[in-house]
Amino acid sequence: MDTPVRRILTGVAALILVIIAFFLIRLYIEARPVFSAYGATHFVFDNAWLPSKNLYGAWPLIAGTLITSAIALIIGVPIAVAAALFVTELCPRPLRATLTILVDLLAAVPSVVYGLWAVFFLIPKIKPAEQWFSDTFSFLPFVGGQVAGPNYFIAGLLLATMIIPIVSAISREVLATVPQEHKEAALALGATRWEMIRLAVLPYSRAGISGAAMLGLGRALGETIAVTLVIGNSAHLGSTIFSQGYTLAAVIANEFGEAASNPVHRASLIAAGLVLFLLTLVVNFIARFYVTRAEKKMLGGAPVAEPVATGAAA
């Protein structure tokens, strides 16, 4: 690459890192009052978030964010990938465009509308089913007991619906890149359509689908308003997936107004934002690591290209 272009690209890449670093530092400075008052460890791991009693333990929020996002991934990704597979490989051609548009339309619904829909429709409709599940499978960990109306599971289910369009759209793109020759090679060996998908399509697109799931996860971790409406906003970590809970994003949205007069409360909310930011970064790094490893495995130890970010920033 010629030097000027290279310099500009390097500069842009470096700028992104600088902005991220600036964000982190700024957030840290704003959040420092709560860390100095309670200690960072207490802030992160104490199981009580009661600003009225000056208790700022973010653990219920962190856990709630992770729990709801995990539920969203567990439910949403298989459905999204199945929808993408159906559209690209199985469904009759004339139906394709219609189905694609329908799935994409899910993304056009504003998240507050999702939240309201869940509050007025999903929660009452699904509660008996949740109670039945809770009673029948109470031997499973984190299942059993009385089901709360708003709870982790509902939030996860709602998030799943919200990440399906993006995960599905990217999966479709990825599946479309599987070379026709690989698919034909499988069919020519006597594979059925499903066997062809398992043999040629999924292995080829595994890394790309993980990437799609990652983007969905990013959205689930940060989603605010819909979750705020259905999570229950409870100060303590719930004991089952059907308990009320809280998430980092929801707490910030709920309490920022009232926190203006209390510097420690305000700092604690900014600290919650900082933790959410770090959480997203860490989750992304972990996911990226797995994707790279999957790609490496696929290429059989052949040298893998340097990750773009480090390459450009170096």
Partner 1 sequence: MTPEPTTTLTDVDLPETPLTTPEVPAHESASEAAANGKNGRRLSLQDLKAFYGDNEAVHGINLEYNPNEVTAMIGPSGCGKSTVLRCINRMHEEIPGAYSTGKVLLDGLDVYASDVDLTAVRRAIGMVFQKPTPFPTLSIFDNVAAGLKLAGIKGVEASDRVEWALKGAGLWNEVKDRLNSPGIGLSGGQQQRLCIARTIAVEPELILMDEPCSALDPIATLRVEELIQELKEQFTIVIVTHNMQQAARVADRTAFFLLGDLVEVGPTESIFTNPTDSRTEEYVSGKFG
What residues make contact with partner 1 under the rule CB under 8 A?
A: 92-93, 179, 181-182, 184-193, 195, 199-200, 203-204, 206, 297-302
Q: Would you say 141 or 300 has its CB closer to partner 1?
A: 300
250 phi/psi in degrees, rounded to 5: -65, -40
Residue 110, number of CB atoms within 10 A of its CB: 10
The C-alpha atoms of residue 211 and residue 188 are separated, in whole angstroms, by 30
Closest by CA to 284, choosing from 202, 222, 201, 192, is 222
Are the CB atoms for 57 and 48 separated by under 8 Å? yes
> At closest approach, how far in Å is the CB of 308 from partner 1?
22
Q: Would you say 53 or 93 has its CB closer to partner 1?
A: 93
Q: Would you say 90 or 282 has its CB closer to partner 1?
A: 90
Q: Would you say 122 or 187 has its CB closer to partner 1?
A: 187
> At closest approach, how far in Å is the CB of 97 from partner 1?
14
> At closest approach, how far in Å is the CB of 212 from partner 1?
18
> At closest approach, how far in Å is the CB of 180 from partner 1?
9
Closest by CA to 275, choosing from 237, 250, 248, is 248
- Structure tokens, 61: 């929020």
Indicate the helix (H) or strand (E) that contains 55: strand 55-56
> At closest approach, how far in Å is the CB of 167 from partner 1?
21
The C-alpha atoms of residue 283 and residue 292 are separated, in whole angstroms, by 14
Q: Would you say 74 or 90 has its CB closer to partner 1?
A: 90
